Amino acid sequence: MVGYAFMGAAHSQAWRTVNRAFDLPLRVRMTAICGRDQANVAAAADRLGWESAMTDWRELVARDDIDVIDVCTPGDSHAEITLAALAAGKHVLCEKPLANTVEEASAMVTAAAFARGSGIRSLCGFNYRRVPAVALMRELIAAGRLGAIRHVRAAYLQDWIVDPEFPLVWRLQKDRAGSGALGDIGAHIVDLTQYVTGQRITGVSALTETFVRERPLPSVSSGLAAAASETDGGLATGRVTVDDAALFTARLDGGAVATYEATRFATGRKNALRVEVNGAHGSLAFDLERLNELEFYDATRPGPEQGFTRILVTEPEHPYVAAWWPPGHILGYEHSFTHQMRDFVQAIADDTDPAPSFEDALQVQRVLDAVLRSAGSDSAWTGVDPVLTTA
Ligand SMILES: NC(=O)c1ccc[n+]([C@@H]2O[C@H](COP(=O)([O-])OP(=O)(O)OC[C@H]3O[C@@H](n4cnc5c(N)ncnc54)[C@H](O)[C@@H]3O)[C@@H](O)[C@H]2O)c1
């Protein structure tokens, strides 16, 4: 694994747990974790359960006792690490968004397609697909329970940068993160809605906004000092180069129309990922803050019985749930990552391609790119080129 902070910890927890929860044909060994600072990465290895710690990811991918590389770094290093890992014959799990640009993501798709010929598997970390209620949503839609899909309504709302004094971390710099709320959390709702509906976005009309354009630097040692300007108060600040919020309307290839909102300025909303799908025969609604539940309106029921039903998605016949606890003993955020590792390991063992593939993630990248281009041209309608998928 490369990177050991937020996703590093979430993925480590999943790697530690996956063989205990699921009966898998392969056993995971957490061989090595890599960061840039020896003392910090050694402490992380100890805390997160890795056998060894390294400071050069090039040495990591060259090790012949390693089969899988898990990329948990910011977007500016996804392509470089992934390309090297695939070339070295390693299976790759790369966090989302796949890359910072369509060009990088395309190169990763080419490399993954080539590696596939030698049985090398790759997966992009859109983990919310593996929340049982989301997987159930997809199953119900695929089974035709909603009929023709008319509307998709998606929002991913956070508030962690509302304070203008919050520092200029990497997520607020275009060269490190690619985009702001759009790529960080908007990417999730793009993938999730396309996954549950089985429809792809064909075009968008978008706007973005950056509410706070200048922020304090986290510290001079962060390498940002060169980009700093001096405010009247003499504090070192730097320019925010990404969107704080992105909103767009979209058309999907199955005939649905959709709205998307991604923001880190929704005061009071901590991690509110909400998706509602309305079809000719019913509706489904999901809210990550109540992730064990799925709301289902079945318009085929007799009139007096109609109404939204709260399905508690904790029955053994629900996706992934049989591996865990008795009905009603709820799951959490971290289980989505364990499920992701389960599907990845199983695919490697079965010699099949896991989803979402890099092709799927490239398509999301093209949507993000179209959103930024549309926002940059007065919300002009902007088409999204289709991506041929293997899955
Ligand atoms: N799936 C999700 O729900 C989810 C949630 C958060 C973040 N992410 C994605 O995960 C990735 C990492 O985000 P995070 O929140 O963990 O960030 P983070 O800032 O918490 O951690 C990044 C880690 O990468 C390390 N790092 C940075 N550059 C490196 C390099 N060149 N070599 C080695 N290590 C390097 C840092 O030291 C740190 O340990 C991003 O792509 C982000 O979009 C996904």
CA of 167 to the centre of ligand 1 (A): 17
- Quickly list H helices, the chain: 6-21, 38-48, 57-62, 78-87, 102-116, 132-142, 174-177, 181, 187-197, 333-350, 358-375
Q: Which backbone phi and psi does 151 adopt, to 5 degrees? A: -125, 145
Alpha carbon of 223 to those of 32, 38, 375: distances in Å? 27, 18, 30
Distance CA 391, CA 386 (A): 14
Q: Calculate the dihedral angle through the C-alpha atoms of 88, 93, 97, 103, rounding to the nearest 10 degrees.
A: 20
> Using a 6 Å cutoff on CB, does residue 4 contact ligand 1?
yes
> Using a 6 Å cutoff on CB, does residue 12 contact ligand 1?
no
CA of 34 to the centre of ligand 1 (A): 12
Distance CA 153, CA 164 (A): 29
> Using a 6 Å cutoff on CB, does residue 389 contact ligand 1?
no
Per-residue pLDDT of the chain (391 residues; tens, 9 = 90+): 999 999 999 999 999 999 999 999 999 999 999 999 999 999 999 999 999 999 999 999 999 999 999 999 999 999 999 999 999 999 999 999 999 999 999 999 999 999 999 999 999 999 999 999 999 999 999 999 999 999 999 999 999 999 999 999 999 999 999 999 999 999 999 999 999 999 999 999 999 999 999 999 997 544 444 444 444 455 699 999 999 999 999 999 999 999 999 999 999 999 999 999 999 999 999 999 999 999 999 999 999 999 999 999 999 999 999 999 999 999 999 999 999 999 999 999 999 999 999 999 999 999 999 999 999 999 999 999 988 765 4
pLDDT of residue 288: 98
Could you tell me the two tokens for 302? 């007799």
> Using a 6 Å cutoff on CB, does residue 36 contact ligand 1?
yes
Tokens 């079965």 correspond to 350
pLDDT of residue 391: 45
